[in-house]
Amino acid sequence: MDMDEYLGDFSPEELTRYLQATAEWIGDYFAKIEEQEVFPQIEPGDFTRQLPSKPPTKGEDMEEILADFARLIPPATTHWNHPNFHAWFANTGSAPGIVAETLSAALNNNAMVWRSGPASTEMELVVCDWLRQMLGLPDGLFGMIHDTASVAVIATLAAARHRATRGEVREKGLRGLPQLRVYASEEAHSSVERAAIVLGLGSKNVVKIAADREFRMIPRALEEAIAQDRKAGFVPMAVVATVGTTGTTSIDPVAQIAPLCKEGEVWLHVDAAYGGAMATVPQYRWVLDGCEHADSLVVNPHKWLFVPMDCSVLFCKNAEDLRRTFSLVPSYLETPEDKIARNLTDYGPAMGRRFRALKLWMVIRAYGSEGIAARVNYHLQLARELQDWIARAENWEQLAPAPMSTVLFRHHPRGLSDEAALERHNRSVLEEINRSGQAFLSHTIVRGSFALRLAIGNLRTQRSHLLATWRLIQEVASRTP
Ligand SMILES: *Cc1c(COP(=O)(O)O)cnc(C)c1O
Protein backbone atom coordinates (compact mmCIF):
# COMPACT_ATOMS: atom_id res chain seq x y z
CA MET A 1 0.00 0.00 0.00
CA ASP A 2 1.17 3.49 -0.83
CA MET A 3 2.06 5.15 2.49
CA ASP A 4 0.70 8.45 1.22
CA GLU A 5 -2.68 6.96 0.57
CA TYR A 6 -4.90 8.17 3.35
CA LEU A 7 -8.06 6.13 3.79
CA GLY A 8 -9.63 7.54 6.93
CA ASP A 9 -13.35 7.65 7.56
CA PHE A 10 -16.38 8.95 5.72
CA SER A 11 -16.48 12.68 5.17
CA PRO A 12 -18.61 14.64 7.67
CA GLU A 13 -21.14 15.21 4.86
CA GLU A 14 -21.44 11.50 4.24
CA LEU A 15 -21.80 10.83 7.96
CA THR A 16 -24.61 13.38 8.17
CA ARG A 17 -26.37 11.72 5.26
CA TYR A 18 -26.24 8.25 6.82
CA LEU A 19 -27.32 9.60 10.18
CA GLN A 20 -30.25 11.31 8.53
CA ALA A 21 -31.21 8.09 6.81
CA THR A 22 -30.82 6.29 10.14
CA ALA A 23 -32.95 8.87 11.94
CA GLU A 24 -35.67 8.41 9.37
CA TRP A 25 -35.50 4.65 9.70
CA ILE A 26 -35.80 4.90 13.49
CA GLY A 27 -38.76 7.28 13.29
CA ASP A 28 -40.47 4.95 10.89
CA TYR A 29 -39.69 1.92 13.06
CA PHE A 30 -41.48 3.48 16.00
CA ALA A 31 -44.37 4.71 13.84
CA LYS A 32 -44.98 1.12 12.76
CA ILE A 33 -43.70 -0.76 15.78
CA GLU A 34 -47.04 -2.49 16.29
CA GLU A 35 -46.79 -4.11 12.87
CA GLN A 36 -43.77 -6.08 14.05
CA GLU A 37 -44.16 -9.48 15.58
CA VAL A 38 -43.01 -9.02 19.17
CA PHE A 39 -41.09 -12.26 18.94
CA PRO A 40 -40.30 -13.23 15.36
CA GLN A 41 -40.93 -16.55 13.65
CA ILE A 42 -37.38 -17.72 13.85
CA GLU A 43 -35.35 -20.73 14.96
CA PRO A 44 -31.78 -20.79 16.29
CA GLY A 45 -29.32 -20.66 13.38
CA ASP A 46 -31.76 -19.07 10.91
CA PHE A 47 -30.10 -15.70 11.25
CA THR A 48 -26.53 -16.99 11.00
CA ARG A 49 -27.39 -18.56 7.66
CA GLN A 50 -28.17 -15.10 6.29
CA LEU A 51 -24.69 -13.75 7.04
CA PRO A 52 -21.61 -14.46 4.94
CA SER A 53 -19.14 -16.58 6.88
CA LYS A 54 -16.19 -14.47 5.69
CA PRO A 55 -15.63 -10.74 6.24
CA PRO A 56 -15.68 -8.51 3.17
CA THR A 57 -12.18 -7.70 1.92
CA LYS A 58 -13.22 -4.43 0.30
CA GLY A 59 -15.37 -1.77 1.95
CA GLU A 60 -19.02 -2.03 1.02
CA ASP A 61 -21.49 0.65 0.18
CA MET A 62 -23.06 2.08 3.32
CA GLU A 63 -26.44 2.37 1.64
CA GLU A 64 -26.33 -1.32 0.96
CA ILE A 65 -25.28 -2.06 4.53
CA LEU A 66 -28.18 -0.01 5.89
CA ALA A 67 -30.55 -1.74 3.51
CA ASP A 68 -29.31 -5.10 4.79
CA PHE A 69 -29.83 -3.92 8.35
CA ALA A 70 -33.44 -3.07 7.58
CA ARG A 71 -34.01 -6.30 5.71
CA LEU A 72 -32.27 -8.79 8.00
CA ILE A 73 -32.22 -7.54 11.56
CA PRO A 74 -35.78 -6.53 12.53
CA PRO A 75 -37.23 -9.91 11.46
CA ALA A 76 -34.64 -11.59 13.71
CA THR A 77 -35.13 -9.26 16.67
CA THR A 78 -37.19 -9.59 19.81
CA HIS A 79 -38.93 -6.21 19.89
CA TRP A 80 -38.53 -4.96 23.43
CA ASN A 81 -39.93 -1.61 22.28
CA HIS A 82 -43.25 -3.18 21.21
CA PRO A 83 -46.05 -2.11 23.58
CA ASN A 84 -47.06 -5.78 23.98
CA PHE A 85 -43.65 -6.87 25.21
CA HIS A 86 -44.17 -8.17 28.76
CA ALA A 87 -41.45 -10.79 29.26
CA TRP A 88 -38.75 -10.72 31.99
CA PHE A 89 -38.69 -7.06 32.99
CA ALA A 90 -40.08 -4.96 30.17
CA ASN A 91 -38.01 -1.85 29.51
CA THR A 92 -37.88 1.06 27.08
CA GLY A 93 -35.59 2.50 24.45
CA SER A 94 -37.04 5.97 24.97
CA ALA A 95 -36.64 8.85 22.50
CA PRO A 96 -34.34 10.97 24.71
CA GLY A 97 -32.33 7.84 25.47
CA ILE A 98 -31.87 7.00 21.79
CA VAL A 99 -30.76 10.56 20.99
CA ALA A 100 -28.30 10.47 23.89
CA GLU A 101 -26.81 7.13 22.79
CA THR A 102 -26.15 8.57 19.35
CA LEU A 103 -24.43 11.64 20.76
CA SER A 104 -22.46 9.57 23.22
CA ALA A 105 -21.13 7.48 20.32
CA ALA A 106 -20.19 10.69 18.49
CA LEU A 107 -18.11 11.97 21.41
CA ASN A 108 -16.76 8.50 22.13
CA ASN A 109 -15.42 9.53 25.51
CA ASN A 110 -13.83 7.07 27.83
CA ALA A 111 -14.55 8.29 31.34
CA MET A 112 -11.83 6.34 33.08
CA VAL A 113 -10.21 9.41 34.65
CA TRP A 114 -11.46 12.98 34.91
CA ARG A 115 -9.00 14.16 32.26
CA SER A 116 -10.20 11.56 29.77
CA GLY A 117 -13.79 12.79 30.09
CA PRO A 118 -14.45 15.82 32.29
CA ALA A 119 -18.12 16.29 31.35
CA SER A 120 -18.76 12.60 31.36
CA THR A 121 -17.13 12.08 34.77
CA GLU A 122 -18.81 15.04 36.43
CA MET A 123 -22.19 14.44 34.82
CA GLU A 124 -22.12 10.86 36.09
CA LEU A 125 -21.73 12.09 39.66
CA VAL A 126 -24.40 14.77 39.22
CA VAL A 127 -27.08 12.60 37.58
CA CYS A 128 -26.56 9.77 40.04
CA ASP A 129 -27.22 12.34 42.73
CA TRP A 130 -30.37 13.48 40.88
CA LEU A 131 -31.53 9.88 40.87
CA ARG A 132 -30.69 9.55 44.56
CA GLN A 133 -32.98 12.48 45.31
CA MET A 134 -35.73 11.09 43.10
CA LEU A 135 -35.61 7.85 45.12
CA GLY A 136 -35.63 9.67 48.48
CA LEU A 137 -32.28 8.23 49.51
CA PRO A 138 -30.13 10.07 52.06
CA ASP A 139 -27.65 12.84 51.23
CA GLY A 140 -24.04 12.03 50.74
CA LEU A 141 -24.35 8.67 48.97
CA PHE A 142 -21.77 8.16 46.25
CA GLY A 143 -23.30 6.99 42.98
CA MET A 144 -21.70 5.71 39.80
CA ILE A 145 -22.84 3.89 36.69
CA HIS A 146 -22.02 0.30 35.74
CA ASP A 147 -23.23 -1.64 32.75
CA THR A 148 -25.43 -4.05 34.72
CA ALA A 149 -26.57 -4.88 38.25
CA SER A 150 -24.69 -8.17 37.91
CA VAL A 151 -21.41 -6.29 37.62
CA ALA A 152 -22.44 -3.81 40.32
CA VAL A 153 -22.96 -6.65 42.79
CA ILE A 154 -19.51 -8.03 41.95
CA ALA A 155 -18.06 -4.58 42.70
CA THR A 156 -19.97 -4.22 45.93
CA LEU A 157 -19.18 -7.72 47.22
CA ALA A 158 -15.51 -7.16 46.36
CA ALA A 159 -15.62 -4.04 48.55
CA ALA A 160 -17.39 -5.99 51.31
CA ARG A 161 -14.73 -8.69 51.07
CA HIS A 162 -11.98 -6.10 51.26
CA ARG A 163 -13.56 -4.59 54.37
CA ALA A 164 -14.23 -7.94 56.05
CA THR A 165 -10.60 -9.01 55.61
CA ARG A 166 -9.20 -5.55 56.44
CA GLY A 167 -7.67 -5.44 53.01
CA GLU A 168 -5.72 -8.65 53.42
CA VAL A 169 -7.41 -10.32 50.47
CA ARG A 170 -6.18 -7.60 48.14
CA GLU A 171 -2.59 -8.79 48.25
CA LYS A 172 -2.68 -12.31 49.56
CA GLY A 173 -5.85 -13.66 48.06
CA LEU A 174 -8.27 -15.81 50.02
CA ARG A 175 -5.89 -18.55 51.11
CA GLY A 176 -5.55 -18.83 54.86
CA LEU A 177 -8.51 -16.54 55.57
CA PRO A 178 -11.63 -17.80 57.35
CA GLN A 179 -14.53 -18.63 55.01
CA LEU A 180 -16.60 -15.59 54.17
CA ARG A 181 -20.35 -15.87 53.88
CA VAL A 182 -23.02 -13.96 52.00
CA TYR A 183 -26.73 -14.16 52.83
CA ALA A 184 -29.60 -13.62 50.43
CA SER A 185 -33.16 -14.85 50.32
CA GLU A 186 -34.09 -17.90 48.30
CA GLU A 187 -35.81 -15.45 45.95
CA ALA A 188 -32.66 -13.38 45.31
CA HIS A 189 -31.29 -12.92 41.80
CA SER A 190 -28.74 -15.43 40.52
CA SER A 191 -26.20 -12.62 40.08
CA VAL A 192 -25.45 -12.84 43.82
CA GLU A 193 -24.31 -16.43 43.48
CA ARG A 194 -22.45 -15.60 40.30
CA ALA A 195 -20.59 -12.78 42.08
CA ALA A 196 -19.58 -15.26 44.79
CA ILE A 197 -18.24 -17.57 42.09
CA VAL A 198 -16.32 -14.75 40.38
CA LEU A 199 -14.87 -13.51 43.66
CA GLY A 200 -13.70 -16.94 44.74
CA LEU A 201 -16.06 -17.04 47.70
CA GLY A 202 -17.78 -20.14 46.35
CA SER A 203 -21.45 -20.50 45.53
CA LYS A 204 -22.00 -22.69 48.61
CA ASN A 205 -21.03 -19.72 50.75
CA VAL A 206 -24.10 -17.86 49.59
CA VAL A 207 -26.55 -18.88 52.28
CA LYS A 208 -30.13 -18.93 51.04
CA ILE A 209 -32.48 -17.54 53.66
CA ALA A 210 -36.08 -18.75 53.70
CA ALA A 211 -38.82 -16.43 52.47
CA ASP A 212 -42.29 -16.00 53.95
CA ARG A 213 -45.63 -16.60 52.22
CA GLU A 214 -45.23 -13.35 50.34
CA PHE A 215 -41.72 -14.31 49.19
CA ARG A 216 -39.95 -11.86 51.54
CA MET A 217 -36.79 -12.77 53.40
CA ILE A 218 -37.58 -13.82 56.99
CA PRO A 219 -35.39 -11.65 59.27
CA ARG A 220 -35.44 -14.25 62.09
CA ALA A 221 -34.13 -16.89 59.75
CA LEU A 222 -31.35 -14.53 58.69
CA GLU A 223 -30.48 -13.79 62.29
CA GLU A 224 -30.26 -17.49 63.09
CA ALA A 225 -28.14 -18.27 60.03
CA ILE A 226 -25.66 -15.52 60.90
CA ALA A 227 -25.44 -16.65 64.55
CA GLN A 228 -24.94 -20.29 63.56
CA ASP A 229 -22.25 -19.42 61.06
CA ARG A 230 -20.39 -17.30 63.59
CA LYS A 231 -20.43 -20.25 65.99
CA ALA A 232 -19.10 -22.51 63.27
CA GLY A 233 -16.19 -20.18 62.52
CA PHE A 234 -17.43 -18.57 59.31
CA VAL A 235 -17.17 -14.82 58.84
CA PRO A 236 -20.51 -13.26 57.83
CA MET A 237 -19.45 -10.79 55.17
CA ALA A 238 -22.55 -9.42 53.46
CA VAL A 239 -26.31 -9.58 53.29
CA VAL A 240 -28.06 -8.93 49.98
CA ALA A 241 -31.66 -7.82 50.44
CA THR A 242 -33.91 -7.47 47.41
CA VAL A 243 -36.50 -4.79 46.71
CA GLY A 244 -38.46 -6.29 43.84
CA THR A 245 -37.30 -9.88 43.39
CA THR A 246 -37.01 -11.17 39.89
CA GLY A 247 -39.59 -13.95 40.20
CA THR A 248 -42.43 -12.29 42.07
CA THR A 249 -41.24 -8.67 42.78
CA SER A 250 -41.48 -9.29 46.52
CA ILE A 251 -39.90 -6.74 48.84
CA ASP A 252 -37.54 -7.89 51.59
CA PRO A 253 -38.09 -6.05 54.91
CA VAL A 254 -34.88 -4.02 54.74
CA ALA A 255 -35.78 -2.01 57.86
CA GLN A 256 -35.76 -5.24 59.90
CA ILE A 257 -32.75 -6.71 58.12
CA ALA A 258 -30.52 -3.64 58.57
CA PRO A 259 -30.14 -3.91 62.39
CA LEU A 260 -28.99 -7.53 61.96
CA CYS A 261 -26.05 -6.27 59.94
CA LYS A 262 -24.89 -4.47 63.07
CA GLU A 263 -24.19 -1.09 61.58
CA GLY A 264 -21.40 -1.90 59.26
CA GLU A 265 -20.10 -5.16 60.65
CA VAL A 266 -21.82 -7.09 57.90
CA TRP A 267 -22.12 -5.23 54.58
CA LEU A 268 -25.74 -4.61 53.58
CA HIS A 269 -26.34 -4.45 49.84
CA VAL A 270 -29.82 -3.76 48.51
CA ASP A 271 -30.66 -5.13 45.08
CA ALA A 272 -33.35 -2.78 43.80
CA ALA A 273 -32.38 -3.32 40.16
CA TYR A 274 -36.00 -3.36 39.06
CA GLY A 275 -38.03 -2.30 42.11
CA GLY A 276 -36.08 0.83 43.01
CA ALA A 277 -37.90 2.66 40.21
CA MET A 278 -41.12 2.45 42.22
CA ALA A 279 -39.65 4.83 44.82
CA THR A 280 -39.72 7.65 42.26
CA VAL A 281 -43.47 7.79 43.00
CA PRO A 282 -43.76 9.69 46.30
CA GLN A 283 -46.58 7.51 47.65
CA TYR A 284 -44.46 4.37 47.08
CA ARG A 285 -41.23 5.64 48.59
CA TRP A 286 -41.81 3.13 51.38
CA VAL A 287 -40.46 0.36 49.15
CA LEU A 288 -37.00 1.64 50.07
CA ASP A 289 -37.72 1.92 53.81
CA GLY A 290 -34.63 0.94 55.74
CA CYS A 291 -32.34 1.42 52.73
CA GLU A 292 -30.89 4.51 54.37
CA HIS A 293 -28.90 2.01 56.49
CA ALA A 294 -27.54 0.08 53.52
CA ASP A 295 -23.86 0.16 52.61
CA SER A 296 -24.79 -0.04 48.95
CA LEU A 297 -27.83 -0.15 46.72
CA VAL A 298 -28.26 -0.80 43.01
CA VAL A 299 -31.02 0.50 40.70
CA ASN A 300 -31.18 -0.14 36.96
CA PRO A 301 -32.46 2.86 35.01
CA HIS A 302 -32.32 0.50 32.02
CA LYS A 303 -35.16 -1.52 33.51
CA TRP A 304 -38.11 0.53 34.66
CA LEU A 305 -36.75 4.07 34.26
CA PHE A 306 -36.88 4.41 30.48
CA VAL A 307 -33.13 4.55 29.84
CA PRO A 308 -31.92 2.27 27.02
CA MET A 309 -29.57 -0.63 27.77
CA ASP A 310 -27.19 -0.43 29.55
CA CYS A 311 -27.27 1.70 32.69
CA SER A 312 -27.08 0.45 36.26
CA VAL A 313 -26.49 2.87 39.13
CA LEU A 314 -24.61 1.69 42.19
CA PHE A 315 -24.94 3.86 45.29
CA CYS A 316 -22.44 3.40 48.06
CA LYS A 317 -22.43 4.95 51.52
CA ASN A 318 -18.68 5.21 51.67
CA ALA A 319 -16.97 5.75 48.34
CA GLU A 320 -13.65 4.98 50.02
CA ASP A 321 -14.71 1.35 50.46
CA LEU A 322 -14.80 1.06 46.67
CA ARG A 323 -11.65 3.08 46.06
CA ARG A 324 -9.59 1.04 48.52
CA THR A 325 -10.75 -2.11 46.80
CA PHE A 326 -10.19 -1.15 43.19
CA SER A 327 -7.71 1.69 42.94
CA LEU A 328 -4.50 0.83 41.16
CA VAL A 329 -2.86 3.75 39.45
CA PRO A 330 -0.36 2.71 36.81
CA SER A 331 1.91 5.57 35.78
CA TYR A 332 0.09 6.06 32.48
CA LEU A 333 -3.09 6.86 34.39
CA GLU A 334 -1.54 9.42 36.74
CA THR A 335 -2.94 12.86 36.01
CA PRO A 336 -2.39 16.33 37.50
CA GLU A 337 -5.98 16.27 38.81
CA ASP A 338 -5.63 13.09 40.85
CA LYS A 339 -5.92 14.96 44.14
CA ILE A 340 -8.79 17.24 43.20
CA ALA A 341 -11.07 15.20 40.94
CA ARG A 342 -12.64 11.76 41.05
CA ASN A 343 -11.27 9.27 38.59
CA LEU A 344 -14.13 6.83 38.27
CA THR A 345 -12.00 3.90 37.15
CA ASP A 346 -10.72 3.83 40.75
CA TYR A 347 -14.15 2.82 42.03
CA GLY A 348 -14.92 -0.31 40.07
CA PRO A 349 -13.53 -3.19 38.05
CA ALA A 350 -13.67 -1.52 34.61
CA MET A 351 -11.08 0.88 33.28
CA GLY A 352 -12.81 1.94 30.07
CA ARG A 353 -16.17 3.51 30.80
CA ARG A 354 -18.82 4.64 28.30
CA PHE A 355 -20.55 8.02 28.62
CA ARG A 356 -23.70 6.41 30.02
CA ALA A 357 -24.56 9.41 32.16
CA LEU A 358 -25.70 11.31 29.06
CA LYS A 359 -28.76 9.15 28.48
CA LEU A 360 -29.76 9.23 32.14
CA TRP A 361 -29.38 13.03 32.07
CA MET A 362 -31.47 13.39 28.90
CA VAL A 363 -34.21 11.05 30.09
CA ILE A 364 -34.53 12.81 33.46
CA ARG A 365 -34.51 16.23 31.80
CA ALA A 366 -36.96 15.27 29.07
CA TYR A 367 -39.60 13.83 31.42
CA GLY A 368 -38.76 15.51 34.73
CA SER A 369 -38.88 13.70 38.03
CA GLU A 370 -42.66 14.14 38.13
CA GLY A 371 -43.06 12.87 34.60
CA ILE A 372 -41.03 9.78 35.41
CA ALA A 373 -43.03 9.15 38.57
CA ALA A 374 -46.30 9.54 36.64
CA ARG A 375 -45.17 7.03 34.02
CA VAL A 376 -44.13 4.48 36.66
CA ASN A 377 -47.42 5.06 38.45
CA TYR A 378 -49.35 4.44 35.23
CA HIS A 379 -47.69 1.03 34.99
CA LEU A 380 -48.66 0.29 38.59
CA GLN A 381 -52.27 1.21 37.77
CA LEU A 382 -52.25 -1.03 34.71
CA ALA A 383 -50.96 -3.91 36.81
CA ARG A 384 -53.77 -3.37 39.30
CA GLU A 385 -56.31 -3.35 36.54
CA LEU A 386 -54.94 -6.57 35.08
CA GLN A 387 -55.28 -8.18 38.51
CA ASP A 388 -58.94 -7.12 38.59
CA TRP A 389 -59.54 -8.67 35.19
CA ILE A 390 -57.91 -11.90 36.33
CA ALA A 391 -59.93 -11.97 39.56
CA ARG A 392 -63.19 -11.46 37.67
CA ALA A 393 -62.48 -13.96 34.91
CA GLU A 394 -63.71 -17.51 35.26
CA ASN A 395 -60.99 -20.19 35.43
CA TRP A 396 -58.12 -17.78 35.96
CA GLU A 397 -56.10 -17.35 39.13
CA GLN A 398 -53.35 -15.08 40.37
CA LEU A 399 -50.47 -17.04 41.89
CA ALA A 400 -48.61 -14.42 43.93
CA PRO A 401 -49.19 -10.93 45.30
CA ALA A 402 -48.14 -8.24 42.82
CA PRO A 403 -46.71 -5.33 44.80
CA MET A 404 -45.17 -3.83 41.65
CA SER A 405 -46.06 -4.02 37.96
CA THR A 406 -45.49 -7.72 37.35
CA VAL A 407 -48.39 -10.15 37.59
CA LEU A 408 -48.17 -13.95 37.93
CA PHE A 409 -51.23 -15.97 36.98
CA ARG A 410 -52.45 -19.06 35.21
CA HIS A 411 -55.40 -20.56 33.44
CA HIS A 412 -57.08 -23.12 35.64
CA PRO A 413 -59.86 -24.81 33.69
CA ARG A 414 -62.47 -26.71 35.65
CA GLY A 415 -61.61 -30.37 36.01
CA LEU A 416 -57.90 -29.83 35.57
CA SER A 417 -56.42 -30.25 39.00
CA ASP A 418 -53.08 -31.99 38.96
CA GLU A 419 -50.06 -29.69 38.82
CA ALA A 420 -48.37 -31.51 35.96
CA ALA A 421 -51.43 -31.19 33.73
CA LEU A 422 -51.85 -27.52 34.65
CA GLU A 423 -48.22 -26.89 33.83
CA ARG A 424 -48.52 -28.62 30.46
CA HIS A 425 -51.62 -26.64 29.62
CA ASN A 426 -50.19 -23.26 30.65
CA ARG A 427 -46.88 -23.95 28.91
CA SER A 428 -48.80 -24.57 25.71
CA VAL A 429 -50.80 -21.38 26.23
CA LEU A 430 -47.59 -19.39 26.69
CA GLU A 431 -45.97 -20.95 23.63
CA GLU A 432 -49.05 -20.22 21.56
CA ILE A 433 -49.25 -16.55 22.67
CA ASN A 434 -45.57 -15.98 21.96
CA ARG A 435 -45.74 -17.72 18.62
CA SER A 436 -48.63 -15.49 17.57
CA GLY A 437 -46.26 -12.51 17.47
CA GLN A 438 -49.05 -10.40 19.01
CA ALA A 439 -47.67 -10.34 22.54
CA PHE A 440 -44.69 -11.71 24.39
CA LEU A 441 -44.70 -13.02 27.98
CA SER A 442 -42.38 -15.16 30.06
CA HIS A 443 -43.01 -17.60 32.90
CA THR A 444 -41.80 -18.52 36.33
CA ILE A 445 -42.37 -21.27 38.86
CA VAL A 446 -44.18 -20.13 42.01
CA ARG A 447 -43.93 -22.71 44.81
CA GLY A 448 -43.97 -25.51 42.31
CA SER A 449 -46.72 -24.03 40.12
CA PHE A 450 -46.04 -22.90 36.59
CA ALA A 451 -47.11 -19.25 36.18
CA LEU A 452 -47.49 -16.93 33.22
CA ARG A 453 -45.52 -13.81 34.08
CA LEU A 454 -46.59 -10.46 32.65
CA ALA A 455 -44.32 -7.48 33.40
CA ILE A 456 -45.44 -3.96 32.55
CA GLY A 457 -42.55 -1.55 32.11
CA ASN A 458 -42.60 -0.22 28.58
CA LEU A 459 -43.37 3.45 28.07
CA ARG A 460 -45.46 2.68 25.00
CA THR A 461 -47.83 0.25 26.71
CA GLN A 462 -51.28 1.78 27.03
CA ARG A 463 -54.41 0.41 28.66
CA SER A 464 -55.83 -0.47 25.23
CA HIS A 465 -52.76 -2.59 24.46
CA LEU A 466 -52.98 -4.42 27.76
CA LEU A 467 -56.67 -5.08 27.31
CA ALA A 468 -56.04 -6.50 23.82
CA THR A 469 -53.28 -8.72 25.23
CA TRP A 470 -55.55 -9.95 28.04
CA ARG A 471 -58.23 -10.82 25.46
CA LEU A 472 -55.64 -12.63 23.36
CA ILE A 473 -54.46 -14.60 26.39
CA GLN A 474 -58.03 -15.65 27.22
CA GLU A 475 -58.81 -16.52 23.65
CA VAL A 476 -55.65 -18.63 23.23
CA ALA A 477 -56.27 -20.40 26.57
CA SER A 478 -59.86 -21.27 25.63
CA ARG A 479 -58.77 -23.11 22.48
CA THR A 480 -55.57 -24.70 23.85
CA PRO A 481 -55.89 -28.27 25.09
C1 LIG B 1 -32.58 -7.85 36.45
C2 LIG B 1 -32.11 -8.05 37.83
C3 LIG B 1 -30.76 -8.21 38.10
C4 LIG B 1 -29.73 -8.30 37.01
O5 LIG B 1 -29.63 -7.11 36.33
P6 LIG B 1 -28.61 -6.94 35.12
O7 LIG B 1 -28.47 -5.45 35.04
O8 LIG B 1 -29.26 -7.54 33.95
O9 LIG B 1 -27.36 -7.61 35.49
C10 LIG B 1 -30.37 -8.34 39.40
N11 LIG B 1 -31.26 -8.31 40.39
C12 LIG B 1 -32.58 -8.15 40.19
C13 LIG B 1 -33.53 -8.13 41.33
C14 LIG B 1 -33.05 -8.03 38.89
O15 LIG B 1 -34.36 -7.89 38.67
Sequence spans of domains, the chain: 110-354
Tell whether ligand 1 has an atom less than 6 A from the beta carbon of residue 271.
Answer: yes
Q: How far apart are CA 230 and CA 224, in angstroms?
A: 10
**Closest ligand 1 atom, residue 303 Cα:** 1
Tell whether ligand 1 has an atom less than 6 A from the beta carbon of residue 193.
Answer: no
- Helices 357-392 and 463-479 pack at an angle, to 10 degrees, of 50
Q: What is the rounded average pLDDT of the residues 46-61? A: 96
| Fold for the domain defined by 110-354 | Aspartate Aminotransferase; domain 2 (3.40.640)
Tell whether ligand 1 has an atom less than 6 A from the beta carbon of residue 345.
Answer: no
pLDDT at 47 over 70: yes
Per-residue pLDDT reduced to its tens digit, 230-255: 999 999 999 999 999 999 999 999 99
Q: Which residue minimizes the CA distance to atom 5 of ligand 1? A: 149
Q: Is 335 exposed, middle or buried (0-12, 13-18, 19+ CB in 10 A)?
A: middle
Q: Dihedral through CA 177, CA 178, CA 179, CA 185, nearest 10? A: -120
Measured on CA atoms in the order 388, 389, 394, 396, is the torsion positive or negative?
negative
pTM for the structure as a whole: 0.96
CA–centroid distance, 475 to ligand 1, in Å, is 32
CA–centroid distance, 364 to ligand 1, in Å, is 21
Q: Are 152 and 314 in contact (CB under 8 A)?
A: yes
Q: What is the rounded average pLDDT of the residues 91-112? A: 96
CA–centroid distance, 6 to ligand 1, in Å, is 46
Task: Of 158, 125, 118, give the one whose Cα is nearest residue 315.
Answer: 125
Tell whether ligand 1 has an atom less than 6 A from the beta carbon of residue 273.
Answer: yes
CA–centroid distance, 153 to ligand 1, in Å, is 10
Tell whether ligand 1 has an atom less than 6 A from the beta carbon of residue 242.
Answer: yes
**Closest ligand 1 atom, residue 188 Cα:** 13
User: Of the residues 88, 147, 148, 356, which should be mutated to test ligand 1's pocket, given the most ligand atoms within 8 Å of the CB?
Assistant: 148
Tell whether ligand 1 has an atom less than 6 A from the beta carbon of residue 149.
Answer: yes
CA–centroid distance, 187 to ligand 1, in Å, is 12
CA–centroid distance, 191 to ligand 1, in Å, is 7
Quick one: pLDDT band at residue 459, thresholds 50, 70, 90? very high
Phi and psi dihedrals of 352, rounded to 5? -70, 135
CA–centroid distance, 147 to ligand 1, in Å, is 11
Q: How far apart are CA 245 and CA 311, in angstroms?
A: 19
pLDDT at 264 over 70: no
Q: What is the rounded average pLDDT of the residues 91-111? A: 97
Quick one: pLDDT band at residue 136, thresholds 50, 70, 90? very high
pLDDT at 1 over 60: no
**Closest ligand 1 atom, residue 242 Cα:** 13
CA–centroid distance, 189 to ligand 1, in Å, is 7
Quick one: pLDDT band at residue 415, thresholds 50, 70, 90? confident
**Closest ligand 1 atom, residue 244 Cα:** 13
Q: What is the rounded average pLDDT of the residues 96-115? A: 96
pLDDT at 100 over 70: yes
Phi and psi dihedrals of 100, rounded to 5? -65, -40
Q: How far apart are CA 292 and CA 267, in angstroms?
A: 13
User: Of the residues 145, 150, 269, 305, which should be mutated to test ligand 1's pocket, given the most ligand atoms within 8 Å of the CB?
Assistant: 150
Question: HEC string of the chain?
Answer: CCCCCCCCCCCHHHHHHHHHHHHHHHHHHHHCHHHCCCCCCCCCCCCHHHCCCCCCCCCCCHHHHHHHHHHHCHHHCCCCCCCCECCCCCCCCCHHHHHHHHHHHHHCCCCCCHHHCHHHHHHHHHHHHHHHHHCCCCCCCEEEEECCHHHHHHHHHHHHHHHHCCCHHHHHCCCCCCCEEEEEECCCCHHHHHHHHHCCCCHHHEEEECECCCCCECHHHHHHHHHHHHHCCCEEEEEEEEECCCCCCCECCHHHHHHHHCCCCCEEEEECCCHHHHHHCHHHHHHHCCHHHCCEEEECHHHHCCCCCCCEEEEECCHHHHHHHHCCCCHHHCCCCCCCCCCHHHHCCCCCCCCCHHHHHHHHHHHHHHHHHHHHHHHHHHHHHHHHHHHHCCCEEECCCCCCCEEEEEECCCCCCCHHHHHHHHHHHHHHHHHHCCCECEEEEECCEEEEEEECCCCCCCHHHHHHHHHHHHHHHHHCC
Q: What is the rounded average pLDDT of the residues 370-399? A: 98
Per-residue pLDDT reduced to its tens digit, 287-302: 999 999 999 999 999 9
Q: How far apart are CA 397 and CA 256, in angstroms?
A: 31
Does residue 2 have a cis bond before it (omega within 30 degrees)?
no
pLDDT at 201 over 70: yes
pLDDT at 108 over 90: yes
- Mean of the per-residue pLDDT values of the chain: 96
